Amino acid sequence: MIIFGTSSSTIHPAKLDGGCCPFCKTENQMWIQGYRKYFHIFWIPFFPLWKKVYSICSHCKGVFEKQEFQSKELLKSFEYFENQKIKIPWYHFSGIILALLLITLISVLPLLTK
Ligand SMILES: [Zn+2]
């Protein structure tokens, strides 16, 4: 039996530079947070799927999607973090790395024993 499916890992929250909350209008209290889905086989992450990022206001605790942002500053800061700061963790590929290692080993082994 092969056990596989999807799981998710949390993206470490980071404080955004500037911008104001779409709800309570508090300035400079916005955080970016989210999670990333990955595909796993036997609980070993194989490859990343999609990520979901959203913004949280530390003042009113409101959660906002990108399309709800009213301030351009917030959107700019959010997109900067989304594209520059949030990288796919290497271990989301560990299944692929393992498989590649195994394939390499299998193809190299006969050469070594000759
Ligand atoms: Zn707020």
User: pLDDT, tens digit, for every residue of 9-30?
Assistant: 999 899 999 899 999 999 999 9
Distance 9 CA to ligand 1 centre (A): 25
Q: Give the pLDDT confidence score for residue 99 in this predicted structure.
A: 94
Tokens, residue 74: 């917030």
- List the domain range (segments joined by +) for residue 17: 4-113
Distance 64 CA to ligand 1 centre (A): 9
Question: Are 5 and 44 in contact, with CB atoms under 8 Å apart?
Answer: no
pLDDT tens, residue by residue, 83-98: 888 888 888 999 999 9
Given a cut of 80, whether residue 2 has pLDDT beyond it is no
Distance 13 CA to ligand 1 centre (A): 16
CA-to-CA separations, 94 to 6, 8, 36, 39, 114, in angstroms, rounded: 14, 15, 15, 11, 31
The structural domain count of the chain equals 1
19-37 b/e (C-beta count within 10 Å ≥ 16 → b): bbbbeeeeebbbebebebe
CA-to-CA separations, 7 to 27, 33, 66, 80, 91, in angstroms, rounded: 34, 17, 23, 26, 13
Distance 110 CA to ligand 1 centre (A): 63
Q: Give the pLDDT confidence score for residue 14 in this predicted structure.
A: 93
pLDDT tens, residue by residue, 43-79: 899 999 999 999 999 999 999 999 999 889 999 999 9
Q: Give the pLDDT confidence score for residue 86 in this predicted structure.
A: 83
Q: Give the pLDDT confidence score for residue 103 in this predicted structure.
A: 95
